[in-house]
Amino acid sequence: MTSTTGVLLGRLMRNITRSPDTIITVAITPIMMLLLFVYVFGGAIETGSSSYVNYLLPGILLITIASGVAYTSLRLFNDVKGGLMARFLTMPIKRSAILWAHVLTSLVSNSIAVAVVILAALLMGFRSNAGILEWLAVAGILGLFMLAVTWVAIIPGLTASSMEGATAYSYPLIFLPFVSSAFVPTETMPTAVRIFADNQPVTSIVNSIRVLLYDETVGNDIWVALAWCIAIMVFAYFIAVNVFKRQAR
């Protein structure tokens, strides 16, 4: 990390510490969903798992991240519309540091939110027999997913004309886990829905995290999950960088 990136990261993190409600807001909705699905709907849902909270948690973690990156767009949008971005561009600093500071802030703040949700799940009965290596693999997949959707978030943060436009993209990301294996096995879905669910990125990511957490056999899902995350990240990165370069001229 360059010194410029560190300074800009510190600025954004100070804003978050002065307004911790952003992390609280990101974590509270997934926790409420955990409570609702585990204690209200869980008894009626057959997943083949000994504990529905164990089955549910991977999908809830992705929803937490999808909710959190909306604040990345919002912070970047505020910098652009408030004129701060223009001031940064006139300064003798490395321009890539401006975007990377927002990306790293997203990784830190969303990691905290994910940790809070996992703590809540532990209080609700979540248990894992995964070892250190499996937990590191889970952290790696979540981090890669976080990085991918953060770069997606950078694009509307740079291009949106309103605050609502800067954050609206997050709703499809939050919705995707509902049409995946996150809440119920895809085998229970109608054929057309099942085909979509089986072939969208969330299902392979959720399945990979689930087998790692519960020490099951890791199949092809983990490679599909990694391929999805890397493809999304690379695609979004190049679009975001090109948009930024055009605006910086």
Region 90-99: mean pLDDT is: 82
Nearest to 225 by CA among 141, 138, 110: 141
Which token pair is 98? Answer: 């401006």
Instruction: Say if CB 166 and CB 91 are below 8 A apart.
Output: no
User: Is the confidence at residue 1, as pLDDT, over 60?
Assistant: no
Question: What is the structure's pLDDT at 20?
Answer: 67
3-class secondary structure, 89: helix
CA distance 15 to 10: 9
The total number of structural domains that make up the chain = 1
Domain of residue 129: give its range. 3-248
DSSP letters, 9-65, are: HHHHHHHHHH-THHHHHHHHHHHHHHHHIIIIIGGG---S-S-HHHHHHHHHHHHHH
Question: What does the mean pLDDT of the chain come to?
Answer: 88
pLDDT, tens digit (0-9, with 9 covering 90-100), for 30-45: 999 999 988 888 777 7
pTM of the model: 0.91
pLDDT of residue 92: 77
Which residues in the chain belong to E strands, given as ranges? none
- pLDDT at res. 48: 67
State both tokens at 49.
Answer: 């798992």
The predicted-structure confidence for 39-75, as pLDDT tens digits, reads as follows 888 777 777 666 889 999 999 999 999 988 988 998 8
